[in-house]
Amino acid sequence: MQEENPSTRIAIVPATPEQRPIVANLLELYSHDFSEFHDVELGEDGRFGYPDLSHYWSEPDRFPFLVRINDKLAGLILVRKGSRVSADETVWDMAEFFIVRHYRRRGIGTHIAQEMWRRVPGTWEIRVMETNDAARRFWAHAITAFAGDVFQSSSFEKDGAKWHLFSFASPARTT
């Protein structure tokens, strides 16, 4: 793994409604990568689509972000309030996290995830399909580097798919 360059400028910026087409395009790349592990089908228009995307600008518990590296578009993060596994509405859910391939395996994704957790204190849940070994290793590394060994790790099944769940707390920032 190549290490992140100290001069690399990383920005996580809220995505505006006008940037929805950009987020949608990045989700197509993400869905293509994800199709290796999950049964997602192309629509007749040649797109995977993301049915809930508009909710990220219309519902108060959803937050879309774009990731820029050295001022270049490099990925997206979709965050939701409320657990997708339990009934806990106080949990932060990393709904989607995507970094384009060019920026992977350099420590940048870990840095970006940890910056998001620092910005948004509270309990976080990260769900990963059991079949996605690379993502499971990535999240285990990123969370351990952030929270040490103070996290929970478990498995569950939903809609016939097996998932791995990481849960941990991000402390409030002190000034």
Give the separation between CA 97 and CA 100, rounded to whole angstroms. 10
Range of the domain at 75: 10-170
Q: β-pairing, 151-158 with 72-81?
A: unpaired
For residue 42, tell me if it sits in a domain. yes
**Residue 32 pLDDT:** 74
For residue 175, tell me if it sits in a domain. no
Is pLDDT of 63 > 50? yes
More confident residue, 88 or 45: 88
For residue 52, tell me if it sits in a domain. yes
For residue 141, tell me if it sits in a domain. yes
Which tens digits make up the pLDDT trace of 119-152? 999 999 999 988 888 889 999 999 999 988 888 8
The count of domains in the chain is 1
pTM for the model: 0.87
- Identity of the highest mean pLDDT range in 46-50, 89-93, 159-163: 89-93
What CATH number does the domain containing 35 carry?
Answer: 3.40.630.30
For residue 5, tell me if it sits in a domain. no
Residues in contact with 134: Cβ distance below 8 Å, sequence separation at least 6, in sequence order: none
